[in-house]
C-alpha cells in the first residue's frame, strides 16, 4: 500500500448499507513477522489456505469502480507492458483473485502499486515501466497479501500506529515470498522490485511515499533472507505444497501455529 489516495472515500463507502463481512479481509490469526518465522512453514501455508479472505461481491466491485476518480480510470498500455500485466495471472490465480481484480494502469511518473477497495489493482505508469515482469509479479503478490491483514492494517493506519504498519508490511512480504516460492518464481524479485520502486520515487518525489509506515530497504532485505532460510524447512521435509482452494475457516477459536524446533 504505497500511496493511500482514497481512504476517506472508501471508508464512507464501507460504512454505508453495503458494509458487511464481504467488505473486509478475513483476518489471519498470525500477524507478527517474528511469530511467522517461529512457526512451521507447512503449517503457515495451510493457514493461508484456511484463512483465505473471501472476495468482494460483484456489487461491491462495481461500486468501487464507479467511485474511482477520473485520474484513476485507467490508461492504455503498449504491447510490452501488456505482456507484463498478462504475466500477473499465475500470482492472481494463487490468491484466487484472477477473476476479482480489475487492473488499471494510472497516469503518473511516480512508482506505486495498490489494491483499491479489495477490487481494483492500481499500477502507476512509473511502476509498470520501472519493473521487470518478475518484479511486478512479486510486488503484486505483496499487495494481494494485504487482504490477509486488511482490517488490522486499516485500524493501525487510522491510529497512526506506524510501528504496527511496518510489521504488517513485513507479514505481507512473508506471504508474498511463500506464494512466489510455491509457484516456482524468484522470491528475490520482491526486494529487487522494492529497490527499483524506491529509487524511482526518490527521483520523482524526492523521498519514498509514507516512509514512516514502511520498513526500510535494509530491514526488508534482512527479513527476506530470514524467510528464505525458514522456507528451507519445506525442502528438508521433501514437501512440495501448492495453495489449493479451500473453504474459509470461521471457527470461533482460531488454530495456533505449530512452532518449529
Per-residue pLDDT tens over the stretch 26-74: 578 888 999 999 999 999 999 999 999 999 999 999 999 999 887 777 7
Sign of torsion over alpha carbons 37, 38, 42, 43: negative
Secondary structure in 3-state letters for the chain: CCCCCCHHHHHHHHCCCCCCHHHCCCCCCCCCHHHHHCECHHHHHHHHHHCCCCCCCHHHHHHHHHHCCHHHCCCCCCHHHHHHHHCCHHHHHHCCCCCCCEEEEECCCCCCEEEECCCEEEEEHHHHHHCCHHHHHHHHHHHHHHHHHHHHHHHHHHCCCHHHHHHHHHHHHHHHHHHHHHCCCCCHHHHHHHHHHHHHHHHHHCCCCCHHHCCCHHHHHHHHHHHHHHHHHHHHCCCCCCCCCCCCCCCCCCCCCCECC
Please, which residues have CB within 8 angstroms of residue 226's CB and are 6 or more apart in sequence? Answer: 37
> How many angstroms separate the CA atoms of 126 and 113, rounded?
10
pLDDT tens, residue order, the chain (261 aa): 444 444 434 444 444 333 333 344 457 888 899 999 999 999 999 999 999 999 999 999 999 999 988 777 777 889 999 999 999 999 999 999 999 999 999 988 889 999 999 999 999 999 999 999 999 999 999 999 999 999 999 999 999 999 999 999 999 999 999 999 999 999 999 999 999 999 999 988 887 777 788 999 999 999 999 999 999 877 555 444 455 443 333 333 433 343 443
Amino acid at each position: 500500500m504505497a500511496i493511500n489516495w482514497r481512504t476517506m472515500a472508501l471508508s464512507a463507502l464501507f460504512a454505508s448499507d453495503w458494509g458487511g463481512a464481504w467488505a473486509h479481509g478475513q483476518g489471519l490469526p498470525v500477524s507478527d513477522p517474528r511469530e511467522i518465522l517461529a512457526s512451521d512453514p507447512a503449517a503457515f501455508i495451510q493457514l493461508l489456505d484456511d484463512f483465505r479472505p473471501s472476495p468482494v461481491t460483484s456489487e461491491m466491485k462495481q461500486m468501487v469502480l464507479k467511485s474511482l476518480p477520473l485520474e484513476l480510470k485507467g490508461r492504455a498500455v503498449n504491447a510490452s507492458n501488456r505482456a507484463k500485466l498478462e504475466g500477473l495471472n499465475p500470482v492472481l490465480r494463487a490468491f484466487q483473485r484472477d477473476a476479482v481484480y480489475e487492473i488499471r494502469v494510472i497516469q503518473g511518473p511516480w512508482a506505486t502499486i495498490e489494491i483499491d477497495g479489495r477490487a481494483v489493482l492500481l499500477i502507476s505508469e512509473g511502476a509498470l515501466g520501472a519493473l521487470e515482469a518478475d518484479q511486478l509479479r512479486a510486488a503484486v503478490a505483496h499487495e494481494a497479501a494485504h487482504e490477509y491483514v486488511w482490517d488490522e492494517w486499516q485500524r493501525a493506519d487510522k491510529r497512526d500506529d506506524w510501528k504496527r504498519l511496518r510489521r504488517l508490511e513485513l507479514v505481507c512480504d512473508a506471504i508474498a515470498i511463500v506464494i512466489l516460492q510455491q509457484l516456482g518464481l524468484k522470491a528475490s524479485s520482491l526486494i529487487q522490485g522494492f529497490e527499483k520502486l524506491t529509487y524511482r520515487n526518490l527521483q520523482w518525489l524526492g523521498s519514498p511515499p509514507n516512509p514512516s509506515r514502511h520498513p526500510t530497504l535494509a530491514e526488508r532485505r534482512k527479513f527476506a533472507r530470514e524467510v528464505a532460510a525458514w522456507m528451507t524447512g519445506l525442502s528438508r521435509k521433501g514437501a512440495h505444497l501448492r495453495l489449493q482452494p479451500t473453504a474459509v475457516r470461521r471457527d470461533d477459536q482460531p488454530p495456533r501455529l505449530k512452532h518449529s524446533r
